Structure 1
Amino acid sequence: MFFAASKAFWLFAQPVSLVLLLLLAGLAFLILKKRRMAIASLSLAATAQFLVGFTSLGYVLIQPLEDRFEQPSELPTNVGAIVVLGGATMARPSSARGVAELNQAGDRLTTTLWLAQRYPDARVILSGGGGFLMGETESEAETMRRFFTSFGIADDRLMLEGNSMNTDENASFTRAMIDQAEDGARAVLLVTSAFHMPRSIGIFRKQGIAVMPWPTDYRSSGRQGFELDIANPNQNLETATVAVREWIGLLAYHLTGRTDDLFPAQ
Protein backbone atom coordinates (compact mmCIF):
# COMPACT_ATOMS: atom_id res chain seq x y z
CA MET A 1 0.00 0.00 0.00
CA PHE A 2 2.77 2.46 0.97
CA PHE A 3 4.71 1.66 -2.21
CA ALA A 4 1.73 2.22 -4.51
CA ALA A 5 0.68 5.41 -2.72
CA SER A 6 4.18 6.86 -2.79
CA LYS A 7 4.66 6.13 -6.48
CA ALA A 8 1.24 7.54 -7.38
CA PHE A 9 1.93 10.67 -5.35
CA TRP A 10 5.27 11.19 -7.06
CA LEU A 11 3.69 10.97 -10.52
CA PHE A 12 1.98 14.28 -9.72
CA ALA A 13 4.47 15.84 -7.28
CA GLN A 14 7.59 15.79 -9.45
CA PRO A 15 8.56 19.18 -10.90
CA VAL A 16 7.72 18.44 -14.53
CA SER A 17 4.25 17.20 -13.52
CA LEU A 18 3.61 20.26 -11.38
CA VAL A 19 4.54 22.53 -14.27
CA LEU A 20 2.17 20.66 -16.55
CA LEU A 21 -0.67 20.82 -14.00
CA LEU A 22 -0.14 24.55 -13.60
CA LEU A 23 -0.22 25.02 -17.38
CA LEU A 24 -3.42 23.00 -17.68
CA ALA A 25 -4.96 24.98 -14.82
CA GLY A 26 -3.99 28.22 -16.56
CA LEU A 27 -5.63 27.12 -19.79
CA ALA A 28 -8.75 26.09 -17.90
CA PHE A 29 -8.94 29.49 -16.24
CA LEU A 30 -8.59 31.15 -19.65
CA ILE A 31 -11.49 29.13 -21.01
CA LEU A 32 -13.53 30.09 -17.96
CA LYS A 33 -12.52 33.74 -18.54
CA LYS A 34 -10.84 34.03 -15.15
CA ARG A 35 -7.98 36.14 -16.38
CA ARG A 36 -6.23 36.85 -13.06
CA MET A 37 -6.24 33.19 -12.04
CA ALA A 38 -4.97 32.23 -15.47
CA ILE A 39 -2.09 34.73 -15.27
CA ALA A 40 -1.19 33.55 -11.78
CA SER A 41 -1.19 29.89 -12.76
CA LEU A 42 0.79 30.39 -15.96
CA SER A 43 3.27 32.65 -14.16
CA LEU A 44 3.83 30.00 -11.50
CA ALA A 45 4.40 27.40 -14.20
CA ALA A 46 6.96 29.59 -15.98
CA THR A 47 8.72 30.43 -12.72
CA ALA A 48 8.90 26.78 -11.64
CA GLN A 49 10.24 25.71 -15.04
CA PHE A 50 12.84 28.48 -14.97
CA LEU A 51 14.02 27.56 -11.46
CA VAL A 52 14.43 23.83 -12.06
CA GLY A 53 15.68 24.07 -15.64
CA PHE A 54 17.76 27.22 -15.88
CA THR A 55 19.28 27.71 -12.42
CA SER A 56 21.45 25.65 -10.10
CA LEU A 57 18.57 25.10 -7.67
CA GLY A 58 18.73 21.32 -8.01
CA TYR A 59 22.40 21.24 -7.05
CA VAL A 60 21.79 23.49 -4.06
CA LEU A 61 19.04 21.13 -2.89
CA ILE A 62 21.03 17.94 -3.42
CA GLN A 63 24.29 19.06 -1.79
CA PRO A 64 23.20 18.66 1.86
CA LEU A 65 22.03 15.13 1.06
CA GLU A 66 25.33 14.21 -0.59
CA ASP A 67 27.44 15.77 2.18
CA ARG A 68 25.64 13.97 5.02
CA PHE A 69 27.74 10.80 4.82
CA GLU A 70 31.34 10.40 3.70
CA GLN A 71 33.24 7.41 2.44
CA PRO A 72 35.38 5.82 5.18
CA SER A 73 38.64 7.68 5.65
CA GLU A 74 40.40 4.33 6.13
CA LEU A 75 39.54 1.16 4.27
CA PRO A 76 38.11 -1.54 6.54
CA THR A 77 40.34 -4.60 6.85
CA ASN A 78 37.69 -7.30 7.12
CA VAL A 79 34.56 -7.05 4.97
CA GLY A 80 31.96 -9.78 5.01
CA ALA A 81 29.45 -8.33 2.55
CA ILE A 82 28.90 -5.49 0.13
CA VAL A 83 25.24 -4.50 -0.29
CA VAL A 84 24.32 -2.49 -3.37
CA LEU A 85 20.85 -1.01 -3.72
CA GLY A 86 19.02 -1.03 -7.04
CA GLY A 87 18.23 2.01 -9.11
CA ALA A 88 21.29 1.94 -11.36
CA THR A 89 20.02 0.09 -14.44
CA MET A 90 17.51 0.58 -17.24
CA ALA A 91 14.91 -2.17 -16.92
CA ARG A 92 13.37 -2.31 -20.40
CA PRO A 93 16.49 -2.51 -22.61
CA SER A 94 18.35 -4.69 -20.08
CA SER A 95 15.53 -7.24 -19.95
CA ALA A 96 14.74 -7.21 -23.66
CA ARG A 97 18.33 -7.38 -24.91
CA GLY A 98 19.87 -9.51 -22.17
CA VAL A 99 22.41 -6.82 -21.26
CA ALA A 100 23.04 -4.56 -18.27
CA GLU A 101 22.34 -1.00 -19.37
CA LEU A 102 23.27 1.53 -16.69
CA ASN A 103 21.56 4.84 -16.00
CA GLN A 104 23.06 7.94 -14.38
CA ALA A 105 23.34 6.09 -11.06
CA GLY A 106 25.58 3.47 -12.65
CA ASP A 107 28.38 4.40 -10.24
CA ARG A 108 26.54 2.25 -7.70
CA LEU A 109 27.61 -0.78 -9.72
CA THR A 110 31.07 0.36 -10.76
CA THR A 111 31.89 1.29 -7.15
CA THR A 112 30.62 -2.08 -5.96
CA LEU A 113 32.71 -3.78 -8.63
CA TRP A 114 35.83 -2.01 -7.33
CA LEU A 115 34.99 -3.00 -3.76
CA ALA A 116 34.34 -6.60 -4.80
CA GLN A 117 37.78 -6.71 -6.41
CA ARG A 118 39.33 -5.04 -3.34
CA TYR A 119 37.68 -7.57 -1.00
CA PRO A 120 37.68 -10.89 -2.91
CA ASP A 121 36.28 -12.86 0.05
CA ALA A 122 33.25 -10.63 0.58
CA ARG A 123 29.81 -11.67 -0.57
CA VAL A 124 28.02 -9.20 -2.87
CA ILE A 125 24.33 -8.68 -2.10
CA LEU A 126 22.30 -7.30 -5.01
CA SER A 127 19.02 -5.78 -3.85
CA GLY A 128 16.44 -4.62 -6.37
CA GLY A 129 13.07 -5.80 -7.62
CA GLY A 130 11.07 -5.05 -10.74
CA GLY A 131 10.21 -1.58 -11.91
CA PHE A 132 6.91 0.23 -11.34
CA LEU A 133 4.61 0.34 -14.39
CA MET A 134 7.40 -1.27 -16.41
CA GLY A 135 5.49 -4.28 -17.67
CA GLU A 136 7.26 -7.63 -17.89
CA THR A 137 10.86 -6.90 -16.92
CA GLU A 138 13.32 -8.98 -14.94
CA SER A 139 14.29 -8.00 -11.41
CA GLU A 140 17.08 -5.48 -11.16
CA ALA A 141 19.01 -7.96 -9.03
CA GLU A 142 19.17 -10.25 -12.07
CA THR A 143 20.34 -7.40 -14.30
CA MET A 144 23.02 -6.51 -11.76
CA ARG A 145 24.08 -10.15 -11.59
CA ARG A 146 24.69 -10.05 -15.36
CA PHE A 147 26.83 -6.94 -14.93
CA PHE A 148 29.08 -8.42 -12.25
CA THR A 149 29.56 -11.83 -13.84
CA SER A 150 30.52 -10.13 -17.10
CA PHE A 151 33.42 -8.51 -15.21
CA GLY A 152 34.61 -11.78 -13.73
CA ILE A 153 32.90 -11.76 -10.33
CA ALA A 154 32.13 -15.39 -9.50
CA ASP A 155 28.43 -16.18 -9.50
CA ASP A 156 28.71 -18.02 -6.19
CA ARG A 157 29.74 -14.75 -4.48
CA LEU A 158 26.51 -13.04 -5.51
CA MET A 159 23.39 -13.10 -3.33
CA LEU A 160 20.28 -11.88 -5.15
CA GLU A 161 17.30 -10.16 -3.54
CA GLY A 162 14.86 -9.48 -6.35
CA ASN A 163 11.57 -8.71 -4.60
CA SER A 164 12.08 -5.30 -2.99
CA MET A 165 10.19 -2.36 -4.45
CA ASN A 166 11.52 0.42 -2.22
CA THR A 167 14.36 1.18 0.18
CA ASP A 168 12.47 -0.08 3.22
CA GLU A 169 12.10 -3.46 1.55
CA ASN A 170 15.75 -3.37 0.45
CA ALA A 171 16.68 -3.44 4.12
CA SER A 172 14.10 -5.93 5.39
CA PHE A 173 14.55 -8.41 2.53
CA THR A 174 18.36 -8.46 2.79
CA ARG A 175 18.50 -8.85 6.58
CA ALA A 176 18.99 -12.64 6.53
CA MET A 177 21.60 -12.39 3.77
CA ILE A 178 23.54 -9.76 5.71
CA ASP A 179 23.43 -11.83 8.91
CA GLN A 180 24.73 -14.83 6.99
CA ALA A 181 27.60 -12.94 5.33
CA GLU A 182 28.55 -10.76 8.32
CA ASP A 183 29.50 -13.73 10.51
CA GLY A 184 29.47 -11.60 13.64
CA ALA A 185 32.73 -9.74 13.11
CA ARG A 186 33.14 -8.58 9.54
CA ALA A 187 31.97 -5.21 8.22
CA VAL A 188 29.02 -4.82 5.85
CA LEU A 189 29.37 -2.03 3.29
CA LEU A 190 26.27 -0.30 1.94
CA VAL A 191 26.65 1.19 -1.55
CA THR A 192 24.12 3.62 -2.95
CA SER A 193 24.00 7.14 -4.39
CA ALA A 194 25.26 9.82 -2.01
CA PHE A 195 21.93 11.67 -2.12
CA HIS A 196 20.12 8.43 -1.21
CA MET A 197 22.43 7.47 1.65
CA PRO A 198 20.75 9.45 4.50
CA ARG A 199 17.38 7.77 3.95
CA SER A 200 19.01 4.37 3.40
CA ILE A 201 21.05 4.54 6.58
CA GLY A 202 18.01 5.72 8.53
CA ILE A 203 16.02 2.71 7.34
CA PHE A 204 18.78 0.18 8.00
CA ARG A 205 19.32 1.63 11.49
CA LYS A 206 15.60 1.49 12.21
CA GLN A 207 15.63 -2.21 11.36
CA GLY A 208 18.70 -2.82 13.52
CA ILE A 209 21.03 -3.63 10.62
CA ALA A 210 24.59 -2.36 11.10
CA VAL A 211 26.15 -1.20 7.84
CA MET A 212 29.06 1.05 6.88
CA PRO A 213 27.98 3.74 4.36
CA TRP A 214 29.86 3.92 1.08
CA PRO A 215 28.26 6.76 -0.90
CA THR A 216 28.88 7.16 -4.61
CA ASP A 217 27.25 8.73 -7.69
CA TYR A 218 27.73 12.38 -6.69
CA ARG A 219 25.77 14.97 -8.67
CA SER A 220 27.03 18.22 -7.08
CA SER A 221 30.46 19.74 -6.57
CA GLY A 222 29.79 20.35 -2.88
CA ARG A 223 30.45 24.06 -3.33
CA GLN A 224 27.55 25.03 -5.59
CA GLY A 225 25.73 28.28 -4.92
CA PHE A 226 22.46 29.45 -6.41
CA GLU A 227 23.01 31.01 -9.83
CA LEU A 228 21.76 31.16 -13.39
CA ASP A 229 22.72 28.01 -15.31
CA ILE A 230 21.56 27.75 -18.90
CA ALA A 231 24.19 25.33 -20.22
CA ASN A 232 22.29 22.09 -19.61
CA PRO A 233 18.62 22.55 -18.66
CA ASN A 234 17.82 18.84 -18.98
CA GLN A 235 20.50 17.91 -16.46
CA ASN A 236 19.40 20.73 -14.17
CA LEU A 237 15.83 19.46 -14.29
CA GLU A 238 16.90 15.88 -13.56
CA THR A 239 19.04 16.95 -10.59
CA ALA A 240 16.24 19.07 -9.17
CA THR A 241 13.80 16.19 -9.61
CA VAL A 242 16.09 13.75 -7.80
CA ALA A 243 16.67 16.21 -4.96
CA VAL A 244 12.99 17.02 -4.46
CA ARG A 245 12.06 13.33 -4.52
CA GLU A 246 14.67 12.49 -1.91
CA TRP A 247 13.68 15.28 0.47
CA ILE A 248 10.05 14.20 0.17
CA GLY A 249 11.14 10.60 0.74
CA LEU A 250 12.99 11.54 3.93
CA LEU A 251 9.91 13.28 5.28
CA ALA A 252 7.51 10.49 4.26
CA TYR A 253 9.65 7.72 5.72
CA HIS A 254 10.05 9.61 8.99
CA LEU A 255 6.34 10.42 9.32
CA THR A 256 5.40 6.79 8.66
CA GLY A 257 7.85 5.49 11.26
CA ARG A 258 10.29 3.89 8.83
CA THR A 259 13.15 6.03 10.16
CA ASP A 260 13.79 7.44 13.63
CA ASP A 261 15.57 10.59 12.44
CA LEU A 262 14.23 13.02 9.87
CA PHE A 263 17.74 13.60 8.50
CA PRO A 264 20.07 10.76 9.63
CA ALA A 265 23.70 11.73 10.17
CA GLN A 266 27.10 10.01 10.16
Structure 2
Amino acid sequence: MFFSLSKLFWLLVQPTSLVLLLVLGGLALVFWRRRRTGLAALAIAAIIQFLVGFTSLGYVIIQPLENRFQVPSTAPETVGTIIVLGGATMARPSTARGIAELNQAGDRLATTLWLARQYPEAKVMLSRGGGFLMGETESEAETMARFLTNLGVAEDRLILEEESRNTAENASLSRAALNEEDGVVVLVTSAFHMPRSVGIFRQQGIEVLAWPTDYRSAGDQGMAIDIANPNQNLETATIAMREWIGLLAYHWTGRTSEFLPAP
Protein backbone atom coordinates (compact mmCIF):
# COMPACT_ATOMS: atom_id res chain seq x y z
CA MET A 1 0.00 0.00 0.00
CA PHE A 2 2.80 2.45 0.93
CA PHE A 3 4.55 1.76 -2.38
CA SER A 4 1.44 2.37 -4.49
CA LEU A 5 0.38 5.47 -2.56
CA SER A 6 3.86 6.97 -2.75
CA LYS A 7 3.98 6.44 -6.52
CA LEU A 8 0.56 8.02 -7.04
CA PHE A 9 1.31 10.90 -4.66
CA TRP A 10 4.54 11.74 -6.46
CA LEU A 11 2.80 11.52 -9.84
CA LEU A 12 0.59 14.40 -8.73
CA VAL A 13 3.05 16.64 -6.86
CA GLN A 14 6.19 16.48 -9.01
CA PRO A 15 6.96 19.86 -10.63
CA THR A 16 5.87 18.88 -14.16
CA SER A 17 2.52 17.60 -12.89
CA LEU A 18 1.97 20.65 -10.68
CA VAL A 19 2.59 22.99 -13.60
CA LEU A 20 0.20 21.04 -15.82
CA LEU A 21 -2.52 20.92 -13.15
CA LEU A 22 -2.17 24.64 -12.48
CA VAL A 23 -2.35 25.47 -16.18
CA LEU A 24 -5.42 23.29 -16.71
CA GLY A 25 -7.03 24.65 -13.57
CA GLY A 26 -6.22 28.21 -14.53
CA LEU A 27 -7.66 27.83 -18.02
CA ALA A 28 -10.79 26.23 -16.59
CA LEU A 29 -11.24 29.09 -14.14
CA VAL A 30 -10.83 31.67 -16.89
CA PHE A 31 -13.41 29.79 -18.97
CA TRP A 32 -15.79 29.80 -15.98
CA ARG A 33 -15.26 33.57 -15.74
CA ARG A 34 -13.21 33.47 -12.57
CA ARG A 35 -10.54 35.38 -14.42
CA ARG A 36 -8.52 36.72 -11.50
CA THR A 37 -8.15 33.34 -9.80
CA GLY A 38 -7.41 31.65 -13.11
CA LEU A 39 -4.68 34.14 -13.98
CA ALA A 40 -3.18 33.69 -10.53
CA ALA A 41 -2.98 29.92 -11.10
CA LEU A 42 -1.33 30.47 -14.49
CA ALA A 43 1.16 32.89 -12.93
CA ILE A 44 2.07 30.37 -10.22
CA ALA A 45 2.58 27.72 -12.91
CA ALA A 46 4.93 30.05 -14.79
CA ILE A 47 6.90 30.86 -11.63
CA ILE A 48 7.33 27.17 -10.77
CA GLN A 49 8.44 26.37 -14.32
CA PHE A 50 10.93 29.24 -14.25
CA LEU A 51 12.38 28.25 -10.88
CA VAL A 52 12.85 24.56 -11.67
CA GLY A 53 13.91 24.99 -15.30
CA PHE A 54 15.85 28.23 -15.54
CA THR A 55 17.55 28.66 -12.17
CA SER A 56 19.99 26.67 -10.06
CA LEU A 57 17.27 25.88 -7.49
CA GLY A 58 17.64 22.12 -7.96
CA TYR A 59 21.36 22.20 -7.26
CA VAL A 60 20.90 24.42 -4.22
CA ILE A 61 18.44 22.02 -2.59
CA ILE A 62 20.16 18.78 -3.60
CA GLN A 63 23.64 19.65 -2.36
CA PRO A 64 22.86 19.47 1.41
CA LEU A 65 21.84 15.85 0.74
CA GLU A 66 24.93 15.14 -1.35
CA ASN A 67 27.26 16.74 1.20
CA ARG A 68 25.84 14.78 4.15
CA PHE A 69 28.00 11.69 3.65
CA GLN A 70 31.47 11.57 2.13
CA VAL A 71 33.40 8.81 0.40
CA PRO A 72 35.55 7.24 3.17
CA SER A 73 38.91 9.00 3.45
CA THR A 74 40.46 5.73 4.62
CA ALA A 75 39.20 2.62 2.88
CA PRO A 76 38.62 -0.48 5.01
CA GLU A 77 41.17 -3.27 4.71
CA THR A 78 38.49 -5.86 4.09
CA VAL A 79 34.84 -5.78 3.10
CA GLY A 80 32.33 -8.55 3.62
CA THR A 81 29.44 -7.36 1.47
CA ILE A 82 28.89 -4.57 -1.02
CA ILE A 83 25.22 -3.59 -1.32
CA VAL A 84 24.18 -1.52 -4.32
CA LEU A 85 20.68 -0.09 -4.48
CA GLY A 86 18.82 -0.14 -7.78
CA GLY A 87 17.93 2.90 -9.79
CA ALA A 88 20.89 2.85 -12.18
CA THR A 89 19.33 1.14 -15.20
CA MET A 90 16.51 1.67 -17.68
CA ALA A 91 14.12 -1.18 -17.09
CA ARG A 92 12.15 -1.42 -20.32
CA PRO A 93 15.00 -1.31 -22.89
CA SER A 94 17.19 -3.51 -20.68
CA THR A 95 14.47 -6.15 -20.42
CA ALA A 96 13.36 -6.01 -24.04
CA ARG A 97 16.87 -6.09 -25.51
CA GLY A 98 18.60 -8.31 -22.98
CA ILE A 99 21.16 -5.64 -22.13
CA ALA A 100 22.03 -3.41 -19.17
CA GLU A 101 21.15 0.09 -20.30
CA LEU A 102 22.35 2.62 -17.72
CA ASN A 103 20.64 5.88 -16.84
CA GLN A 104 22.12 9.02 -15.27
CA ALA A 105 22.63 7.13 -11.99
CA GLY A 106 24.86 4.60 -13.72
CA ASP A 107 27.74 5.62 -11.45
CA ARG A 108 26.15 3.35 -8.84
CA LEU A 109 27.16 0.34 -10.93
CA ALA A 110 30.50 1.82 -12.01
CA THR A 111 31.41 2.38 -8.35
CA THR A 112 30.21 -1.11 -7.42
CA LEU A 113 32.37 -2.62 -10.17
CA TRP A 114 35.39 -0.70 -8.88
CA LEU A 115 34.73 -1.82 -5.30
CA ALA A 116 34.23 -5.43 -6.41
CA ARG A 117 37.68 -5.34 -7.99
CA GLN A 118 39.23 -3.66 -4.94
CA TYR A 119 37.74 -6.30 -2.64
CA PRO A 120 37.71 -9.54 -4.64
CA GLU A 121 36.57 -11.62 -1.65
CA ALA A 122 33.48 -9.49 -0.97
CA LYS A 123 29.99 -10.60 -1.87
CA VAL A 124 27.99 -8.15 -4.00
CA MET A 125 24.30 -7.77 -3.17
CA LEU A 126 22.14 -6.30 -5.91
CA SER A 127 18.98 -4.93 -4.33
CA ARG A 128 15.98 -4.04 -6.45
CA GLY A 129 12.96 -5.73 -7.87
CA GLY A 130 10.65 -3.93 -10.26
CA GLY A 131 9.91 -0.25 -9.81
CA PHE A 132 6.76 -0.16 -11.93
CA LEU A 133 3.28 -0.62 -10.51
CA MET A 134 2.39 -3.31 -13.05
CA GLY A 135 5.63 -5.31 -12.81
CA GLU A 136 6.09 -5.57 -16.57
CA THR A 137 9.91 -5.78 -16.55
CA GLU A 138 12.59 -8.06 -15.17
CA SER A 139 13.99 -7.24 -11.74
CA GLU A 140 16.68 -4.60 -11.75
CA ALA A 141 18.85 -6.98 -9.73
CA GLU A 142 18.90 -9.24 -12.79
CA THR A 143 19.81 -6.32 -15.06
CA MET A 144 22.61 -5.22 -12.71
CA ALA A 145 23.92 -8.79 -12.53
CA ARG A 146 24.12 -8.84 -16.32
CA PHE A 147 26.19 -5.64 -16.27
CA LEU A 148 28.64 -6.90 -13.64
CA THR A 149 29.13 -10.41 -15.00
CA ASN A 150 29.70 -9.03 -18.50
CA LEU A 151 32.55 -6.99 -17.02
CA GLY A 152 34.18 -9.88 -15.22
CA VAL A 153 32.58 -10.17 -11.78
CA ALA A 154 32.10 -13.86 -10.98
CA GLU A 155 28.46 -14.88 -10.83
CA ASP A 156 28.96 -16.81 -7.59
CA ARG A 157 29.84 -13.55 -5.81
CA LEU A 158 26.46 -12.02 -6.56
CA ILE A 159 23.44 -12.06 -4.26
CA LEU A 160 20.29 -11.02 -6.07
CA GLU A 161 17.54 -9.44 -3.97
CA GLU A 162 14.75 -9.24 -6.54
CA GLU A 163 11.64 -8.36 -4.53
CA SER A 164 12.18 -4.82 -3.21
CA ARG A 165 10.35 -1.91 -4.83
CA ASN A 166 11.56 0.99 -2.70
CA THR A 167 14.32 1.86 -0.25
CA ALA A 168 12.48 0.55 2.81
CA GLU A 169 12.13 -2.84 1.15
CA ASN A 170 15.77 -2.68 -0.01
CA ALA A 171 16.82 -2.57 3.63
CA SER A 172 14.39 -5.09 5.10
CA LEU A 173 14.98 -7.69 2.39
CA SER A 174 18.74 -7.15 2.40
CA ARG A 175 18.83 -7.75 6.15
CA ALA A 176 17.34 -11.21 5.63
CA ALA A 177 20.19 -12.12 3.29
CA LEU A 178 23.03 -10.82 5.49
CA ASN A 179 24.92 -12.77 8.14
CA GLU A 180 26.37 -11.11 11.23
CA GLU A 181 29.79 -12.55 10.44
CA ASP A 182 29.85 -10.99 6.98
CA GLY A 183 32.11 -8.15 8.16
CA VAL A 184 32.01 -4.57 6.86
CA VAL A 185 28.92 -3.82 4.78
CA VAL A 186 29.46 -1.11 2.18
CA LEU A 187 26.37 0.67 0.86
CA VAL A 188 26.51 2.17 -2.62
CA THR A 189 23.85 4.57 -3.84
CA SER A 190 23.54 8.10 -5.20
CA ALA A 191 24.89 10.79 -2.88
CA PHE A 192 21.51 12.55 -2.67
CA HIS A 193 19.87 9.25 -1.70
CA MET A 194 22.44 8.25 0.91
CA PRO A 195 20.97 10.02 4.01
CA ARG A 196 17.59 8.33 3.65
CA SER A 197 19.19 4.99 2.76
CA VAL A 198 21.51 4.99 5.77
CA GLY A 199 18.63 5.93 8.06
CA ILE A 200 16.50 3.06 6.78
CA PHE A 201 19.29 0.50 7.05
CA ARG A 202 20.03 1.68 10.60
CA GLN A 203 16.36 1.24 11.48
CA GLN A 204 16.70 -2.35 10.28
CA GLY A 205 19.73 -2.86 12.53
CA ILE A 206 22.28 -2.83 9.70
CA GLU A 207 25.34 -0.60 10.19
CA VAL A 208 26.70 0.30 6.78
CA LEU A 209 29.76 2.12 5.50
CA ALA A 210 28.35 4.78 3.16
CA TRP A 211 30.01 5.01 -0.25
CA PRO A 212 28.13 7.78 -2.09
CA THR A 213 28.37 8.25 -5.84
CA ASP A 214 26.43 9.84 -8.72
CA TYR A 215 26.80 13.49 -7.68
CA ARG A 216 24.56 16.06 -9.37
CA SER A 217 25.89 19.31 -7.84
CA ALA A 218 29.27 20.95 -7.28
CA GLY A 219 28.48 21.12 -3.56
CA ASP A 220 28.68 24.88 -3.09
CA GLN A 221 26.37 26.36 -5.70
CA GLY A 222 24.28 29.44 -4.95
CA MET A 223 20.94 30.55 -6.31
CA ALA A 224 21.27 32.03 -9.80
CA ILE A 225 19.72 32.20 -13.25
CA ASP A 226 20.81 29.15 -15.25
CA ILE A 227 19.63 28.84 -18.86
CA ALA A 228 22.33 26.50 -20.18
CA ASN A 229 20.38 23.25 -19.72
CA PRO A 230 16.75 23.67 -18.59
CA ASN A 231 16.00 19.94 -18.91
CA GLN A 232 18.86 19.03 -16.58
CA ASN A 233 17.82 21.77 -14.16
CA LEU A 234 14.29 20.39 -14.10
CA GLU A 235 15.50 16.83 -13.56
CA THR A 236 17.80 17.87 -10.70
CA ALA A 237 15.07 19.92 -9.00
CA THR A 238 12.61 17.05 -9.38
CA ILE A 239 15.03 14.52 -7.87
CA ALA A 240 15.87 16.85 -4.97
CA MET A 241 12.22 17.58 -4.16
CA ARG A 242 11.33 13.90 -4.28
CA GLU A 243 14.18 13.04 -1.93
CA TRP A 244 13.27 15.69 0.63
CA ILE A 245 9.64 14.56 0.54
CA GLY A 246 10.86 10.96 0.88
CA LEU A 247 12.90 11.86 3.97
CA LEU A 248 9.86 13.48 5.55
CA ALA A 249 7.51 10.62 4.65
CA TYR A 250 9.87 7.91 5.87
CA HIS A 251 10.44 9.73 9.16
CA TRP A 252 6.71 10.36 9.74
CA THR A 253 5.87 6.71 9.08
CA GLY A 254 8.59 5.42 11.42
CA ARG A 255 10.84 3.99 8.71
CA THR A 256 13.72 6.17 9.96
CA SER A 257 14.44 7.44 13.45
CA GLU A 258 15.93 10.74 12.20
CA PHE A 259 14.61 13.15 9.62
CA LEU A 260 18.09 13.75 8.14
CA PRO A 261 20.48 10.98 9.19
CA ALA A 262 24.14 11.90 9.58
CA PRO A 263 27.42 9.91 9.71
TM range (shorter): over 0.9
Query: Which residue in 2 is equivalent to 1:99?
Result: 99
Decide whether the 8 Å contact of 1:91 with 1:134 is kept in 2: no
Q: TM-score, normalised by structure 1?
A: 0.97
Query: Which residue in 2 is equivalent to 1:230?
Result: 227
TM-aligned CA deviation for residue 59 of structure 1:
0.2
* CA RMSD, 1 decimal: 0.9
What secondary structure does 1:189 align onto? strand
Cα separation, 1, equivalents of 2:177 and 2:68: 27
Residue 239 of structure 1 aligns with an amino acid whose one-letter code is T
Q: What are the residue-to-residue correspondences of 1:38-187 with 2, within 5 Å?
A: 38-133=38-133, 136-179=136-179, 183=181, 186-187=183-184
Decide whether the 8 Å contact of 1:178 with 1:188 is kept in 2: no
Decide whether the 8 Å contact of 2:131 with 2:166 is kept in 1: no
Q: TM-score, normalised by structure 2?
A: 0.98
Residue 248 of structure 2 aligns with an amino acid whose one-letter code is L
Structure 2, unpaired ranges of 5+: none
* Structure 2 residue 237 is matched with structure 1 residue 240: yes
Decide whether the 8 Å contact of 1:79 with 1:188 is kept in 2: yes
State percent identity of aligned pairs. Answer: 70
Decide whether the 8 Å contact of 2:4 with 2:133 is kept in 1: no
Cα separation, 1, equivalents of 2:7 and 2:47: 25
Query: Which residue in 2 is equivalent to 1:218?
Result: 215
Residue 68 of structure 1 aligns with an amino acid whose one-letter code is R
TM-aligned CA deviation for residue 18 of structure 1:
0.3
Cα separation, 1, equivalents of 2:113 and 2:234: 29
Query: Which residue in 2 is equivalent to 1:204?
Result: 201
Decide whether the 8 Å contact of 1:92 with 1:134 is kept in 2: no
What secondary structure does 1:171 align onto? helix
Cα separation, 2, equivalents of 1:176 and 1:14: 33
Query: Which residue in 1 is equivalent to 2:27?
Result: 27
TM-aligned CA deviation for residue 134 of structure 1:
5.7
Per-residue CA distance 1:191-218 (angstroms, 9 max, x = gap): 0000000000000011111110000000
TM-aligned CA deviation for residue 183 of structure 1:
1.7
What secondary structure does 1:192 align onto? strand
Q: Size of the alignment, in residue pairs? A: 263
Cα separation, 1, equivalents of 2:176 and 2:132: 25
Residue 257 of structure 2 aligns with an amino acid whose one-letter code is D
Q: Which of 241, 253, 256 is the equivalent residue of 1:256? A: 253
What secondary structure does 1:65 align onto? helix
What secondary structure does 1:79 align onto? coil
TM-aligned CA deviation for residue 131 of structure 1:
2.2
Residue 169 of structure 2 aligns with an amino acid whose one-letter code is E
What secondary structure does 1:219 align onto? coil
What secondary structure does 2:244 align onto? helix
What secondary structure does 2:89 align onto? coil
Does the C-alpha gap of structure 1 residues 183 and 135 become closer, same or farther in structure 2, counting only changes over 3 Å? Answer: closer
Cα separation, 1, equivalents of 2:6 and 2:135: 19
Cα separation, 2, equivalents of 1:33 and 1:142: 55
What secondary structure does 2:92 align onto? helix
